[in-house]
A and B are shown apart, each in its own frame.
Chain A
Amino acid sequence: MTNVLDWVDGNDIAGTARELFALDLTTARGKCANCGREAMVAEAHVYNRAPGLVVRCSGCESVLMRLVRSPDRAWLDMRGLSYLQFSMPGAAHAP
């Protein structure tokens, strides 16, 4: 069944992203390369019912990131993002 709400949000990828990034990715601000919307990764739409994770812009639904994880490697495609801006340690809410 296809459901337009068949997604979760960027909070879902916190753990998987933490394997690849030294900082929390979900509180990073990303700019969509398609529509220019800037939002926290936590606010993006995540489609996780597939072999990989697909992260889409909450404004235009274009693909921001794709992440595929196998037992011994990870593929990260971030071509849908112009940039990511991280709050560096010492800022609020760094776990």
Chain B
Amino acid sequence: MTWQVATVKDIREESVAARSLVLDVPEWPGHFAGQHVDVRLTAPDGYAAQRSYSLASAAVAAAGYAASEVEIMVQRIPRGEVSPWLCDVAQVGDQIEVRGPVGGYFVWDPSRTEPVLLLAGGSGVAPLMAMIRTRREAGSRVPFRLVYSVRDPDTLIYGDELNRRVRDDQGLDVTIVYTRQTPPGWRRPAGRLTGDLLTEAGWPASMSPASFVCGPTGFVEATANLLVAAGHDAAWIRTERFGPTS
């Protein structure tokens, strides 16, 4: 697998500290929802830095996307080597190097039939969004539930699209959990995801759902432990941790 040149086709600001980048990758071979792409930036002096990003675009060509286009979501990490450039400097038309898709562990295949529970912490929602988009594009009728934990309304990513999909994508439920500050009049006070909330918004262990947990390492550890405590089989819990809290 080799590096290839990708061109930034579109940029969407998603929150105060995150943006989506649509990349045109001419030789893109296709991907599964949940897979990654590595991004490499090289300075004029030859110094190169690379980071792995989850693909957020549907695994099958979605409306409005050419087959060679993929989307990533980048959260600005202060003092990061790659994300500040992608978040603050990159413009439509810029070229970067990418390699992918990579990773086969944290993936959802639309031919699967078990109910799916998606648990996102912050920008960990990106690969889960790929699964939600893939479900729709593939015409899957598998019931999906997303429980999405974010700090406050300013850091909510994909808010409008999730609202629209809850209305249009049959069998998709979305529960947002605000940990620090809620929108005015929100039905639950701010606070972390609890076992009780998971019981209410997730699937019971008896349904043998496939669970995908993605977020900062602390979130993933805590959430996977809640699932196991609720009787979920660890073999059905797939996890992806991207480091300390953003």
B36 touches A11 (CB 8 A): yes
- How many Å from the CB of B215 to the closest CB on chain A? 11
A-B contact count (CB 8 A): 82
Residues of B within 8 A of A18 (CB): 1, 99, 102
| Bound: A40/B50 CA distance, A | 24
Decide: A24 and B102 in contact? CB cutoff 8 A.
yes
Size of interface on B: residues with Cβ below 8 Å to A: 31
In chain B, positions 96-113 with a C-beta closer than 8 Å to chain A are 99-107, 109
* Most B Cβ at <10 Å: residue of A12, A14, A19: A14
A59 neighbours in B (Cβ, 8 Å): none
Which residues from chain A contact B32 at a C-beta distance below 8 Å?
A: 93, 95
Chain B CB within 8 A of A94 CB: yes
Chain A count of residues within 8 A CB distance of the other chain: 25
| Residues on A with beta carbons closer than 8 Å to the beta carbon of B15 | none
Please, how many angstroms separate the alpha-carbon atoms of A24 and B102 in the complex? 8
Enumerate B3-29 residues with CB–CB distance to A below 8 Å: none
Q: How far is the CB of B226 from chain A (nearest CB, A)?
A: 16
Pairwise interchain contact B217-A11, C-beta atoms closer than 8 A? no
Scan A38-68; emit 1 where CB is below 8 A from any B CB, else 0. 0010110000000000000000000000000
Inter-chain contacts of B38 with A (CB < 8 A): 15-16
Within 8 A of B (CB), among A1-23: 3, 5-12, 14-16, 18-19
Task: List 8 A–B pairs whose Cβ atoms lie within 8 Å, in order of A's numbering.
Answer: A6-B243, A7-B217, A7-B243, A11-B103, A11-B241, A14-B36, A15-B103, A18-B1
A18-B102, A42-B105 known, 12 other contacts, Cβ within 8 Å:
A5-B221, A6-B243, A7-B241, A7-B243, A8-B242, A15-B1, A15-B38, A16-B38, A26-B104, A42-B240, A71-B48, A95-B32
